Chains A and B, each alone.
Chain A
């Protein structure tokens, strides 16, 4: 059964701690993405990767880091430098980055930092 998995579903951390969110896909997609969702703001792109060992900053990359060592995995680290990390984080993948390619989304991780 192909798809995207994100774990955990809920994550709680203390301020000042780094935290890593997991994203795995078995769709054999080349491109993967991380978005942040806040109420009333739609989705904002954090980082994306078109191919293994390569990634680019999105619109709100400050305070985040990623790696892409394997095609199926694209973990996101929320560092202590991120000023407002509490949000719903969504991972997505697509066959490629052409204009007509839709993205497939995971179920999301809700991060709460106190």
Chain B
């Protein structure tokens, strides 16, 4: 079975400092992994996805994530936080439900950016 664990429920950074949001996954086969962002009372927007190509994945708004199979991790990073990055972030793994793939969501990490 597939699962995903977001290691921090809340992260606070200062504007201009690096962002690290941690995610570990469990999968019985080679997974697809995604990071989504959600601003308050909005839908989810895809930041980036990993689908067994390059292990370093670049996404929108300066975010990137590195797939590390040996550590079963897919941490999200950004070199310099902006106030507009304050939101909730979800790490997601694609899992199988019989013949269908479905997304399995982590519980989210709320990122606060201090001025």
Contact = CB atoms under 8 A, between A and B. Distances in A.
A105 B94 contact: no
Interface in B41-64: 41-46, 49, 51
Given A40-B108, A43-B44, A98-B101, 15 more contacts: A4-B43, A42-B107, A48-B102, A56-B100, A97-B101, A99-B32, A99-B51, A99-B94, A100-B49, A102-B34, A102-B46, A102-B49, A105-B36, A105-B45, A108-B42
B14 interface: no
B101 A99 contact: yes
B42 A42 contact: no
B32 A100 contact: yes
A50 interface: yes
A97 B102 contact: yes
Contact of A105 (B44, B96, B108): B44
Contacts of A97: 100-102
Interface residues of A, number: 28
Contact of A43 (B42, B90, B100): B90
Contact of B43 (A40, A56, A90, A101): A90
B90 A42 contact: yes
B107 A104 contact: no
A31 to B, nearest CB: 9
Contacts, number: 58
Contacts of B102: 45, 48, 58, 97
Interface string A4-36: 101000000000000000000000000000000
Interface of B: 9, 31-32, 34, 36, 41-46, 49, 51, 90, 94, 96, 100-103, 105-108
A93 B96 CA distance: 17
Interface of A: 4, 6, 40-45, 48, 50, 56, 58, 88, 90, 92, 97-108, 110
Nearest to B98: A56
A42 B107 CA distance: 4
B41 A108 contact: yes
Contacts of A48: 100, 102
